[in-house]
Structure 1
Amino acid sequence: MGARAADRVAPRSKAKTLAMRLRDRTTEYQRYMVDFSVPFDNNRAERDLRMIKVQQKVSGAWRTLPGARRFARIRAYISTVRKHNISPLTALRDLFAGRPWMLPATS
């Protein structure tokens, strides 16, 4: 036998679920306003991909697979040096001078 209609709990709407989560985790969601080392958002990966999509939209498509791979490799290098607080222009200058920046060794 099934539960009576009065005993069932209606599913929450997405809006209500979000509102409750924001209410219950206010400290975590507002941490970036107090601790400036915390980024406002967590979309670094999305920002890394955005340039690829913009390039694709502007040019219509990649002309060759090797060209797309070169573009992706350069963008990945620039993104990585930025994440390590190194100027992309400095990193590219050093790269073309034969002194590429390398990830620090981890132990």
Structure 2
Amino acid sequence: MPSYAAPSLTPEVERAINVLGANAARIAVLAYVVENPGSLVSEIAEGTDLAVGTVKTHVSALTTLGALSADPDPSVPYAERRGRRTRYTAHAEQLTKHYRELGKLLRIYQPNE
């Protein structure tokens, strides 16, 4: 049975997440989608051992933030989807940009000038 927000992470990763103030479940969802583009919510939940509701919450937030894309797009009316289930893919370039911005904030990344 899936757990609420306890993906199996190494102690080093858990420490990094705690230091950076991130959410372990959201990082697990992102990592899964990066490695498995075109994933369904049910596949992400199974692959991360998170509850489907937890995954839906994070996928929705990550899509709104532009870190994930949904196919079909959430703006497509349900009636027009013709039974298609939504698949999610990560935007690696956006994630890289966010990591660089965080690195700049922490003064551990200095862009080449």
The TM-score by the shorter chain falls in which range? under 0.3
Q: Which has the larger radius of gyration?
A: 1
TM-score for the superposition, normalised by structure 2: 0.26
TM-score of the pair, normalised by structure 1: 0.27
